[in-house]
Structure 1
Amino acid sequence: MEFYQKLKKLRAKKGWSQEEFAEKLQVSRQAVSKWENGQGFPETEKLVKMSRLFQVSLDYLLKDENQPFGEQGTTEEGYYASQEVVESYLLNKKQDAKNIAAGVAILIASILFPMYFQETFSYVLFMIVVAVGVAILVWHGLSVKSYKELETQPLVFDDSFIQDFRQKSLANRKRYVILIVTGIVIIILSFGIPFLTNDTGHADRDPLFALMPLTWAFAVYLFIIAGSAMEGERLVINNEEYVKEYEKYEESSKHGWIHAVIWPLTTVIFLAIGFIWNAWHPGWLVFLVAPVFTIAYTVWKSSKD
């Protein structure tokens, strides 16, 4: 079966007219008509788009073989994800992770200003830095999410690609684990900083003490980058399990409001403790209590449902 025959058969299988198919490809109806009559051949970009629309591999479209649809390794039902699509998705996810990690790290690092400095200017600077961190997170939250199909549907891959990807992922996982372990070690070591400060009765003003929020910010940055990369690769390797987990997440997302409320509320409590009682230290402990409370609440509500 030649390309033009496959194209006509696949389009009919979807129930699309030539005009509808042309609109999806962003080409003219005449171009589709020529392709289906064997009078022309689409460019690579259009072929990739066809493989996504029809959920078949590029091999199936291009190879001139007398095999019926589905015998090219695409018999499963699902969204066809080519190598190019997967690589673009992981690159996009990496950039998203950097934006989130930067926003969260800036919010955590901003704590050092009211903790260490007494001047009014330090509080103004603190609010400016917080505003920057929040702006980054809000901008990311409102941006258009790409590749939603890959995260919500079962995926179909070319066999040669997925086997090679699994091998590369095993090597990458070692790097991600090293990043996570490094972050954990950094956080543990940071709690030893107060013991290194000067015993003057004003230990919270010691320059070393200001390193604590900076080390936490760096550690959290590593966690988010490594965690996001591992999640993206897990989606590809263990797609069936990932989709099931996503469905469970959607089921429990009705309790997700707590995640949007807890951090602004925690920041307000921290500022109140600092400005009213001048207890920036140990007031920062509320940032450690917040995630514990969030997890406990979510688990409790889910168990009741």
Structure 2
Amino acid sequence: METIMVYLENMFAGLPKTPEVEHLKQELLSGMEDKYLELKREGKSENEAIGIVISEFGNIEELTAELGIQPVSAEEAVPVLTEEEAYAYTTAKRNAGFWIGLGVLLCASGVAFLIFMDTLFDNYATSAANRSVETGAVLGLIGMFVLIAIAVGMFIHSGMKLERFSHMEKGFQLPYTLKMSIQHSRESFALTYRIAIITGVCLCILSPVFIFAASSINDNYASYGVSAFMVMAGVGAFLFVYYGNIQGAYTNLLEKHQLTVEKKQEVKVVRAVEAIVWPLATAIFLFTGFVYQRWDINWAIFPITGILSGSFSNVYHIMKSKNPS
């Protein structure tokens, strides 16, 4: 049966990826499956059944001519992805997820280090030792910028590693056997992905506990709780990015080439909004913390931003569905 599916994939490789063609393909596959099973019940061997099915259903030109479906031209044809290219892509996405996730963790740790050092010197400095307070802020800033600089280097490194696969944005095809192999890999990874996401969510939800615990001991210790909150949330973000990138690689290979132009535009708009909203949320978090000393409640900025970001994505999708351009 797998031979028949491979043959069918090859027959439709030169046709446009439209709903009409996909519907025709599914109808042919269903008919071929029924015929194959019928021949097997009659006692035909595997090779005999496959040969008869292909001979009876193998002429796709007449069907496409009747339906007015034209093969794609050489300029419009998309390349077929090889097993080596698919493996290299998933490996690159996995590595990029690790470095980007680690970079996010370093950024969060940098902010945590700044808050920790500033609070440490502020709490233990006497009123006459203002220099100690300034030293804490300076050391915290130096540590934060060093960590952020390392993180930015990781982001750039990851982006450059993925540039070699930019041609995949124009579309590609997967051989049937390769598609089934990737599908199996995604199914095997599903449990690991779910556990990682659940763990990351739990870490983010539990991270504010450090703020409450530190505040309950002493109001001056609230900032220490914020530092722990940032690090724990950073670990959660690392899990999201790393395992999300692996899952995203499988999704891109299996589904991305089937996305419509409208869906691709929707993804670009949502990503553009997120690129503005999250840095803005971080800036508000730091401003309200250092200027107004509201570390006890300003952590809520991040879950609120996450809810608003998800809501925007859903609203945009609904509006585009109601008003197609």
User: Normalization by structure 2: what TM-score?
Assistant: 0.59
1:155 to 173, 184, 190: 173
5+ long unaligned stretches in structure 2: 1-57, 59-70, 119-135
Q: Is residue 277 of structure 1 aligned with residue 292 of structure 2? A: yes
Distance 1:278 1:231 in 2: 39
Larger RCO, structures 1/2 (Cα 8 Å, 6+ apart): 2
Please tell me whether the aligned partners of residues 92 and 161 of structure 2 are also in contact (alpha carbons under 8 angstroms): no
Which whole-Å deviations, capped at 9, do the CAs of 1:44-81 have from their partners, x for residues lacking one?
Answer: xxxxxxxxxxxxxxxxxxxxxxxxxxx9xxx9964211
Q: How does 1:36-185 map to 2 (within 5 A)?
A: 78-118=78-118, 119-120=136-137, 121-138=139-156, 140-141=158-159, 145-157=163-175, 159-185=176-202
Which whole-Å deviations, capped at 9, do the CAs of 1:116-143 have from their partners, x for residues lacking one?
Answer: 3322122332333334334433554566
2:245 to 228, 242, 245: 228
Q: Is residue 265 of structure 1 aligned with residue 283 of structure 2? A: no
Q: Which has the larger displacement, 259-268 or 292-301?
A: 292-301
Larger radius of gyration: 2
Q: CA deviation at 1:187?
A: 2.1
2:259 to 245, 270, 276: 245
Distance 1:94 1:168 in 2: 14
Distance 2:180 2:301 in 1: 46
Aligned to 1:215: 232
Q: Which has the larger displacement, 124-133 or 95-104?
A: 124-133
SS at match of 1:80: coil
Q: Is residue 201 of structure 1 aligned with residue 215 of structure 2? A: no
Instruction: Give the number of equivalent residue pairs.
Output: 227
Distance 2:156 2:177 in 1: 40
Which whole-Å deviations, capped at 9, do the CAs of 1:200-253 have from their partners, x for residues lacking one?
Answer: 2223144x55322111111111111111111211233x33xx334363343232
Percent identical pairs in the alignment equals: 16
Please tell me whether the aligned partners of residues 255 and 298 of structure 1 are also in contact (alpha carbons under 8 angstroms): yes
Please tell me whether the aligned partners of residues 115 and 205 of structure 1 are also in contact (alpha carbons under 8 angstroms): yes
Q: Which amino acid aligns with 1:94?
A: R
Distance 2:187 2:270 in 1: 34
Distance 1:163 1:257 in 2: 33
Distance 1:110 1:148 in 2: 32
Please tell me whether the aligned partners of residues 173 and 257 of structure 2 are also in contact (alpha carbons under 8 angstroms): no
Q: CA deviation at 1:186?
A: 2.0
Q: Which amino acid aligns with 1:174?
A: L
Distance change in 2, residues 1:223/1:96 (3 Å): same
Distance 1:138 1:250 in 2: 24
Post-superposition, which runs of at least 4 consecutive aligned residues in structure 1 deviate over 6 A? none
Distance change in 2, residues 1:91/1:179 (3 Å): same
Distance 2:269 2:179 in 1: 34
Aligned to 1:43: none
Distance 1:143 1:165 in 2: 21
Q: CA deviation at 1:298?
A: 4.8
Which whole-Å deviations, capped at 9, do the CAs of 1:149-175 have from their partners, x for residues lacking one?
Answer: 434414131x44433333333212222
- RMSD (Å) for aligned C-alpha atoms: 3.2
5+ long unaligned stretches in structure 1: 1-70
Q: Which amino acid aligns with 2:231?
A: L
Please tell me whether the aligned partners of residues 190 and 215 of structure 1 are also in contact (alpha carbons under 8 angstroms): yes
Please tell me whether the aligned partners of residues 270 and 313 of structure 2 are also in contact (alpha carbons under 8 angstroms): yes
Please tell me whether the aligned partners of residues 98 and 242 of structure 2 are also in contact (alpha carbons under 8 angstroms): yes
Q: CA deviation at 1:256?
A: 4.4
User: Normalization by structure 1: what TM-score?
Assistant: 0.62
As a proportion of its length, which structure holds more helix?
Answer: 2
Please tell me whether the aligned partners of residues 285 and 298 of structure 2 are also in contact (alpha carbons under 8 angstroms): yes
Q: Which amino acid aligns with 1:213?
A: M
